[in-house]
Amino acid sequence: MQEIRAYIITIGDEILYGQIVDTNAQWMSALLDESGIKTIRRLTIGDDKSEILSAFDEAEKDSDLVLITGGLGPTPDDLTKPCLAEYFNDKLEMREEALNDLSELFKRLDRELSPLNEKQAELPTRAKYLKNDMGTAPGIWMESKKNTVFVSMPGVPYEMKFLMKERVLPEVKKRFMPTSIVHRRINTVGIGESWLHEIIGEKEKALPSHIRLAYLPSPGIVKLRFTGKGEDKPKLIEEVNKTVDEFKPLIEKYIYGYDDEKLEEAIGRVLKFKGKTIATAESCTGGKLAHKITSVPGSSEYFLGSVVSYSNDVKINVLGVKKETIEKEGAVSEDTVKQMAVGARKLLKTDIAISTSGIAGPGGGSKEKPVGTIWLGYADDNQVVAKKINLGKDRAMNIEYTTIAALNLLKKHIM
């Protein structure tokens, strides 16, 4: 079967010099991989005309698809567009369609359209215009004499991701039609990659050659991605679904959802279905838990609110944690998280409440309670429970992982 070869070019001094981390190239090549397109090279270069032009030249030689990010801003150090025009012996021209979209965007943000911004509506005359709903720099699609497709996108991650998913990938599929690829995911929480492998490793060995299994880990969560390749799509879908059904029973209790569903989405789905409402009482997570729950559209149907009780006074005066408890047991203790959950449930009038209190670090640790000591609480009409976890020394990781662990505690009680 025909293979599509992609070449990713990241443009920008701030990335080349390591001032900021480039997450775009990794995200793009993972998306291409899912779509059955092979990334052959990833190249990062600076805001330098000759570098950009020679990179275009090399990329065109050995690839079918050249994906370019960065260098599309309105300032003079943004060179991608002029370089594209020069490389294709074309010139930049104001594109009506682009200018109208740009004006509308600025009207919506009720900001004034500066002359510099207007220049963003200039495109090479032979370019296909890819509308960017997320920002001011449009995507640009051009095809070379050798039929290599060049796509230029802004470097701002959420703008690039929108363009890749909504504009570029559909066009690419139309243009190249790769062999069918079918993905299914089993999403698990609360078990590590290697333990999962202990459980399903044997079954994995028995998979047919055209179905591959990949472990996709992130803090607290592992997604099992089954990828089937073949010509007959309906048959392939059937096969991959059957495979997923065979793996399920082995790891049932760790599964929270399938495919693109996130843990917070799965929890929202179940809460909505059961008609239950929830609140959070947060100390060490500092609002991250509520933020994660409310990142889901429609979460207002089941999430009523949160009290971030960072100080002990707030724990006592707002959530009603007993002063003696904090004095005797400390703010990071089983009794405190239990009383926080109970208090939040009462104050915010919900069916369920979950709570967190821990030492995120870097400061605040002690011999008995080192940095990474975390307590989680859960309360509903029938029970109040607490769970202790011991994490590492990194503040950001501790906050992130505690958030997932609290959602997992909730999942165990409602799923």
Question: How far is it, in rounded angstroms, from Cα 151 to Cα 143?
Answer: 9
- CA 269 and chain centroid, separation: 19
Question: How far is it, in rounded angstroms, from Cα 323 to Cα 330?
Answer: 10
Say how many residues make up the chain.
415
Which residues, in sequence order, are CB contacts of 194 under 8 Å at separation 6+? none
Question: How far is it, in rounded angstroms, from Cα 267 to Cα 221?
Answer: 14
- β-pairing verdict for 255-258 and 221-230: unpaired
Q: Does 327 bind a copy of itself (CB under 8 A)?
A: no
Nearest to 410 by CA among 204, 193, 220, 139: 220
Nearer to a copy of itself, 285 or 339 (CB): 285
Q: Does 317 bind a copy of itself (CB under 8 A)?
A: yes
Residue environment code for 19-41, b if the CB has 16+ CB neighbours within 10 A, otherwise e: eeebebbeebbebbeebbbebbb
Site string for a copy of itself, 160-179 (x = CB under 8 A): --x-----------------
Question: How far is it, in rounded angstroms, from Cα 89 to Cα 124?
Answer: 9
Least distance (Å) between residue 5 CB and a copy of itself = 11
Least distance (Å) between residue 371 CB and a copy of itself = 10
| Contacting residue, 131, 229, 291, 369, with a copy of itself by CB under 8 A | 291
Q: CA of 121: how far to CAs of 135, 136, 157, in Å?
A: 12, 8, 20
| Contacting residue, 20, 94, 177, 250, with a copy of itself by CB under 8 A | 20
Question: How far is it, in rounded angstroms, from Cα 12 to Cα 24?
Answer: 12
Q: Does 26 bind a copy of itself (CB under 8 A)?
A: yes
Nearer to a copy of itself, 269 or 291 (CB): 291
Nearest to 24 by CA among 163, 141, 201: 163
Stretch touching a copy of itself by CB under 8 A, among 23-31, 83-91, 169-177, 250-258 = 23-31
| Contacting residue, 5, 35, 46, 180, with a copy of itself by CB under 8 A | 46
Q: Does 237 bind a copy of itself (CB under 8 A)?
A: no
Q: Does 53 bind a copy of itself (CB under 8 A)?
A: no
Nearer to a copy of itself, 170 or 298 (CB): 298
Which amino acid belongs to residue 84?
L
Q: Does 368 bind a copy of itself (CB under 8 A)?
A: no
Q: Does 94 bind a copy of itself (CB under 8 A)?
A: no
| Contacting residue, 294, 322, 346, 415, with a copy of itself by CB under 8 A | 294
Q: What is the DSSP string of 135-201?
A: SSS-EEEEE-TT--EEEEE-SSHHHHHHHIIIIIHHHHHHHH-PPEEEEEEEEEESS-HHHHHHHHH
| Contacting residue, 96, 300, 323, 328, with a copy of itself by CB under 8 A | 300
For 8, how many CA atoms within 13 A lie in the half-sphere containing its CB?
A: 24
Nearer to a copy of itself, 128 or 346 (CB): 346
Q: Does 269 bind a copy of itself (CB under 8 A)?
A: no
Helix (H, G, I), strand (E, B) or coil at 379: strand
| Contacting residue, 77, 96, 232, 246, with a copy of itself by CB under 8 A | 77
Q: How many residues bind a copy of itself (CB under 8 A)?
A: 106
Nearer to a copy of itself, 26 or 125 (CB): 26
Helix (H, G, I), strand (E, B) or coil at 314: helix
Q: Interface residues for a copy of itself in 371-410 (CB under 8 A)?
A: 372, 390-397, 399
Question: How far is it, in rounded angstroms, from Cα 239 to Cα 233?
Answer: 10
Least distance (Å) between residue 114 CB and a copy of itself = 5
- Local structure of residue 411 (DSSP, 8 states): H
Q: Does 40 bind a copy of itself (CB under 8 A)?
A: yes
Q: Does 15 bind a copy of itself (CB under 8 A)?
A: yes
H/E stretch holding 407: helix 395-414
Q: Does 263 bind a copy of itself (CB under 8 A)?
A: no
Least distance (Å) between residue 89 CB and a copy of itself = 25
Least distance (Å) between residue 28 CB and a copy of itself = 7
Q: Interface residues for a copy of itself in 115-144 (CB under 8 A)?
A: 116-117, 133-134
Asked if residues 113 and 106 have their Cβ atoms less than 8 Å apart, the reply is yes
Stretch touching a copy of itself by CB under 8 A, among 85-93, 113-121, 263-271, 407-415 = 113-121
